[in-house]
Amino acid sequence: MGINNTASTGSLAAINVVVALLAAVLMPVLGGRFVAAAADATTTASSSSFNYKEALTKCIIFLEAQRSGKLPPNNRISWRGDSGLEDGKIDNVDLVGGYYDAGDNVKYGLPMAFTVTTLSWNAIFYRSQLEAAGELLNVQDAIRWGTDYFLKAFPKRDTLYVQVGNPITDHQCWVRPENMKTERTLYKIDLNAPGTEIAAETSAALASASIVFRHVDHNYSHVLLNKAKSLFKFADTHKGTYDGECPFYCSFSGSNDELQWAAAWLYKATMNETYRHFILEEAIDGTVSEFNWDLKYAGSQILLTQLFFEGDKELDDYKRQADNYICSVLPESPYHQVHMTPGGLVYMRDGANTQYATCAAFLFSVYGDLLASHNQQVTCGNQNFGAAQLMAFAKKQMDYILGKNPQQRSYMVGFGNNPPKQAHHRGASVPVLSPNEVVNCGLSFVNWFVKDAPNPNELTGAIVGGPDRNDYFEDRRTKSNMLEPTTYINSAAVGVLARLASHPQ
């Protein structure tokens, strides 16, 4: 659809321009230069399968490294400390907590909400697999870290705080969140400045999480669901696009997909006819070939197809659209339209491209399991595809990321063969400093950003942006498109890794 989704970058615009120009000139020359490293015997690139349980555990640990606020006593990231403890203070509201989206120190509401929604879907659909891997409680904790923040960010009806931190000033200092002195500007949506996309996505996050906690903490689940209903009403009643997160998180897809997505989760959470009516009569659907923080149609279509399989036959249009999504992505389909790198990775666009691979892998994994459970297939023209073919595609995407690729290297930090050592990430690349130490922002880029050396702190489990469309990759922190991780890359990977850990195939 030509949607230009990009992860936030953590460096000065001028530096990025210079780096991009240098890359364009030098890439053909440096195409074969890669840092060598010893292979992990249990997860070598040549293996037919990987230690998916290890990858799952590390995938979740990365999310813990992205936490903002007062860290819990069981914090597993030794080099992380408390941060953002006065967030919200300028408006006399408590906005401590939540997640930093990527390698910077800003809390963006839209990608954070999508992270929580996808994590919740993982925890619901692959509950037994996560439990078998010993990770269900950690995933629930990761979800709750986000939902606790959203409850605080929605202090009263029709007001939602959607961002903490000024990205311009934040990107002018390469500093750990524990030492940041940049302004913690607050951004919100309300009746005078609505933001349908963010309100609806946050509604989806709370509604999906309410299902996760329904039999774990009933009262908490009830609170989440009521807030989700209020946010959906706000999103649907007061239409408008919030563009305050541009140029880092501009929603080019509009708000129809988020409204459909939120209604789908509210219907699943409540089975209330109000949301079913919205889905059937008011929601505007779309034919798409990707699923990400900005474009949710494919997710809604597969979620609602599950309800179709379970007996609601009026949702048959969503089954057809879910099939269309699969047909547009699967390389063997006659309707395939998604670019694949020569090595077989889904490639949509520069900037955290692995998000498209992990999101596709998750949807293919879920839909494949649904097809198997209900003895169904996907028809693409004159070809039929079953559960095994969908799962094989999902596995191929994850295997590529874990090391089965032309470079024979892992794109998950701390896992497998020759993983990235220079993740584009402030907390990982800056040494632990005294909490009171004042960082010179001008020198911070010289001291830590452009330094060609491994990060002093391992960002365990982070899936970086990955290679370009030709499978080229260079482990240099300055190449944010390749080296910056995001929460939503990992959140989409959790379920499929749990599935593969249970059934490696």
Asked if 164 and 184 touch (Cβ cutoff 8 Å), the reply is yes
Residue 416, classed as helix, strand or coil, is coil
Report the run of H or E that residue 25 belongs to, with start and end. helix 13-30
C-alpha distances in Å from residue 184, one per residue of 91, 172, 195, 356, 361: 11, 14, 20, 30, 36
Chain Cα centroid distance, residue 390:
21
Amino acid at the residue 328: S
Amino acid at the residue 38: A
Which of 429, 439, 478 has its CA nearest to residue 21?
478
Query: How is residue 135 written in tokens?
Result: 């990770």
Catalytic residue list contains 104: yes
Catalytic residue list contains 475: yes
- Which ranges constitute the DSSP H helices of 374-479? 387-402, 426-429, 441-444
Distance CA 63, CA 450 (A): 25
C-alpha distances in Å from residue 238, one per residue of 230, 360, 492: 12, 32, 30
Catalytic annotation, pick one of 424, 458, 468, 474: 424
Distance CA 37, CA 414 (A): 12
Distance CA 170, CA 100 (A): 12
Asked if 87 and 68 touch (Cβ cutoff 8 Å), the reply is yes
Query: Which residues fall within 8 angstroms of residue 440, CB to CB, at 6 or more apart?
Result: none
Catalytic annotation, pick one of 54, 87, 245, 475: 475
User: Residue 421 gets which letter from DSSP?
Assistant: S
Distance CA 397, CA 411 (A): 12
Distance CA 453, CA 478 (A): 11
C-alpha distances in Å from residue 153, one per residue of 162, 204, 261: 7, 15, 21
Catalytic annotation, pick one of 40, 104, 170, 197: 104
Beta pairing partners, 107: 164
Neighbours of 326 (CB within 10 A): 27
Distance CA 331, CA 380 (A): 11
Angle, nearest 10°, between helix axes 218-237 and 136-153? Answer: 50
Catalytic residue list contains 64: no
- Residues marked active site are found at 104, 424, 475, 484
